[in-house]
Amino acid sequence: MTAPPRGVLAGTAAEPGVAKPDPLLVVDRVGKAFGGIQAVDVEHLEVQRGVITGLIGPNGAGKTTLFNLLTGFDRADTGTWSFDGRAVAGLAAHRLARRGMVRTFQLTKVLGRLTVLENMKLGATGQRGERLVPALLRPAWRRQEAAIERRADVLLARFKLDAMRDAYAGYLSGGQRKLLEVARALMVEPTMVMLDEPMAGVNPALRQSLLGQITDLADGGTSVLFVEHDMDVVMRISDWVVCMAQGQVIAEGPPSSILGNRAVIDAYLGSQHDEPGLGEQP
Amino acid sequence: MDILVILGDAGRAALGPQAAIYALAAIGLNIHFGYTGLLNLGQVGFMLVGAYGVAITVATFGGPLWAGVLVGLACAVVLAILLGIPTLRLRADYLAIATIAAGEVLRLTYNAGFAQPVTGGVYGLQQFAGSFYATNPISPGSYGVGRLVYSERDLWVMVVGWGAVALATLGLFLLIRSPWGRVLRSVREDEDAARSLGKNVFGYKMQSLILGGVLGALGGMLLAVDTQAVAPNTFNPVVTFYLYTLLILGGAGRVLGPALGSVIFWFLLLFIDSALLQAIGAGYIPAEVLSPSDVGALRFALVGLALVLLLAFRPAGILGNPREMRLEAGAAGTPRRRRKSTQAGSDRERGVAR
């Protein structure tokens, strides 16, 4: 699974905020407080290009809030971040998406009264027919539309949604909705997809297929950053794992190093458990 | 009691200038509400600025009619931008509040004493559409069959009015089938999803508000021209609710919904009106129970009842797609805040669909 080029992180030290060989996303001192609670307080984080990075942490660790901040769906109080070498802090969500940073949502957002195919076609960027005046002139966008439809059909077949192509997306099952959301995000041709709990509510059969899709993505050169609670999934497909707790990055490293990491265990289980050595600290 | 008289009255209203006017304004509302999900409760405000744009330009400043039309359209665009900038970034509820307030502010301002030199205040303005009727190519007389007859004057307004409705419907048909329309419908479904796919949601909502507002203004102009008079109290908030009624009756989010809804609305309204008057006249209803002067109010109550029944048994409207409607009631159509709790409900919906 960690065959080149996805094994590039082999020599990177497993410590929070460590520099990566080829970072796609670089986050600096990003903070967000809700009332008196510091939801996110990330000192420094780099996300490597072309690999699968898992983001874990207990409930309320600030994972989804960090997603919202980075993708422009929420405004950060402090901090800067750059994507693909360009500063993107404060950019509107739709501009970030056009630059190749595309997210999905924890609670799926399929467009129920659009067909599955329409959901897919919506994802394509730079459509001439999406501008008011050319929209009236079908010849101005017909060929582009046909090309988009072909691309959508390929993706739908890959995600095994082709049978549902012309059904309203609102009639899909929960798992199919997750698949559609990921497939639709790919229509944007993202540099990086950010998946917020892609496996939540997905049945085991679909789960296998979704896992395969995610690893295929990374093999195809798309970077993946995903939030997930299912440790089994995280350990199986991640090339690198970042753990957050109370808004901060408390550990990162290859999956094998995370399982035994003291800070991670403390974050999940609390640091009160009896263990020799702990009591010596002030 | 003469059923032919009743049908004639109802038919004349269903095809008459008034129905065309309401259809035009409702097409605008369909763009707002039916396709973009913008709950605009102040469509009458757009009609007002359109009507007064024509009236003030011609009657107060002595300008030509075409200049009045341009002024009216410009006013609608400005109004849409002024309304949209502060409210389109907020939740839909705020737009509803702001638009209903804006409509009232406009009506009261045009009504005010200080505005009287320009707007005519409470008396309004009259006789400004002479040049419209001067260009009437239809020779004087009455046209039609049986009791369904129109004067050459009405016919000319109808030709222009229904022509505008046809053009607007065709334009909407082309737009909605285009990728532009797809984005608009995605904004209606879930604007965060549209945003996450790189769509400038604010821009699309603004385009929708302007486009629908301009159609509302055109409806208002036609109303002003038809009656050769404008007065602020013509533009009551209740007009917006009639527009919603006929839009939902015809089918919101359907290209032909507003036109069909308007025809049926006016048919029903005048059918009941005429039938009641005939029944009183023939002595079927004693004058102590219902006097002819009460009919005007009662007909709206009965139309309301008819609409309630229709919507109870066909909530998607006449042209609506029941499969789509079921989604609106299920998970996909509910606001984001409530969606999580209706997940179980949506499973039931799917069961029904099969």
State whether residue B77 sits within 8 Å of chain A by CB. Answer: no
Q: What is the spatial distance between Cα A31 and Cα A40, in angstroms, rounded to a whole number?
A: 5
Size of interface A-B (CB pairs under 8 A): 131
Q: Which residue has the higher pLDDT, B299 or B177?
A: B177
CB-nearest to B197 from A113, A128, A184 is: A184
Determine which helix (DSSP H) or strand (DSSP E) holds B150, and give its type and residue range. Answer: strand B148-151
CB-nearest to A170 from B179, B185, B327 is: B327
**Comparing C-alpha atoms, which of B36, B175, B190 is closest to residue A180?**
B190
Residue type, B229: A
What mean pLDDT comes out for the span B146-152? 88
Average pLDDT across chain A, whole number: 89
CB-nearest to B200 from A71, A73, A94 is: A94
Write the burial class of residue A239 (CB in 10 Å: 0-12 exposed, 13-18 middle, 19+ buried). Answer: buried
What domains appear along chain A, each with residue ranges and CATH number?
A: 14-110+192-271 (3.40.50.300), 111-171 (no CATH)
State whether residue A88 sits within 8 Å of chain B by CB. Answer: no
CB-nearest to B197 from A113, A123, A138 is: A123
Instruction: Read off the pLDDT band of B312 (50, 70, 90).
Output: confident
What mean pLDDT comes out for the span A56-65? 91
Q: Which residue is closest to A131 within chain B, CA to CA?
A: B180
As a whole-number percent, the residues of chain B with pLDDT over 90 amount to 67
Contacts for B208-211: CB closer than 8 Å, 24+ residues apart: B208/B31, B208/B32, B208/B35, B208/B36, B208/B38, B208/B184, B209/B32, B209/B36, B209/B38, B209/B40, B209/B80, B209/B83, B209/B84, B209/B88, B210/B76, B210/B77, B210/B80, B210/B81, B210/B84, B211/A132, B211/B28, B211/B31
Helix (H, G, I), strand (E, B) or coil at B141: coil
CA B329 to chain A, closest CA, distance in angstroms equals 11
Residue A280 has pLDDT above 80, yes or no: no
CB pair distance less than 8 Å for A135 and B179: yes
**What is the structure's pLDDT at A13?**
81
CB pair distance less than 8 Å for B190 and A109: yes
Quick count: other Cβ atoms within 10 Å of Cβ A118? 19
Residue A189 has pLDDT above 90, yes or no: yes
**What is the structure's pLDDT at B346?**
42
C-beta separation of A228 from A236 below 8 A: no
Q: A115-168 pLDDT, tens per residue?
A: 999 999 999 999 999 999 999 999 999 999 999 999 999 999 999 899 999 999
CB-nearest to B174 from A130, A136, A174 is: A136
Q: Which residues of A touch B207 (CB under 8 A)?
A: 132
What mean pLDDT comes out for the span B238-262? 92
**Comparing C-alpha atoms, which of B148, B144, B159 is closest to residue B222?**
B159
Optimal mutation site among B36, B191, B197, interface A, most CBs of chain A within 10 A? B197
Complex prediction ipTM: 0.90
What mean pLDDT comes out for the span B69-92? 92
State whether residue B321 sits within 8 Å of chain A by CB. Answer: no
CB-nearest to A141 from B179, B333, B340 is: B179
Q: What is the spatial distance between Cα B103 and Cα B47, in angstroms, rounded to a whole number?
A: 9
Q: What is the spatial distance between Cα B186 and Cα A124, in angstroms, rounded to a whole number?
A: 13
Residue B332 has pLDDT above 50, yes or no: no
CA A111 to chain B, closest CA, distance in angstroms equals 5
What domains appear along chain B, each with residue ranges and CATH number?
A: 3-315 (1.10.3470), 321-354 (no CATH)
CB pair distance less than 8 Å for B178 and A111: no
CA A279 to chain B, closest CA, distance in angstroms equals 44
CA B306 to chain A, closest CA, distance in angstroms equals 28
Q: A191-238 pLDDT, tens per residue?
A: 999 999 998 878 888 888 889 999 999 999 999 999 998 888 999 999
Residue type, B230: V
What mean pLDDT comes out for the span B105-120? 94
Q: Which residues of B touch A112 (CB under 8 A)?
A: 189, 327, 330-333
What sign does the dihedral A262-A263-A268-A274 (CA atoms) show?
Answer: positive
CB pair distance less than 8 Å for A113 and B182: no
**What is the structure's pLDDT at A196?**
93
CB-nearest to A102 from B181, B196, B346 is: B196
Quick count: other Cβ atoms within 10 Å of Cβ B308? 10
State whether residue A136 sits within 8 Å of chain B by CB. Answer: yes
State whether residue A102 sits within 8 Å of chain B by CB. Answer: yes
Residue B333 has pLDDT above 80, yes or no: no
CB pair distance less than 8 Å for B171 and A136: yes
* Token code pair at residue B270: 């005048």
**What is the structure's pLDDT at A152?**
97
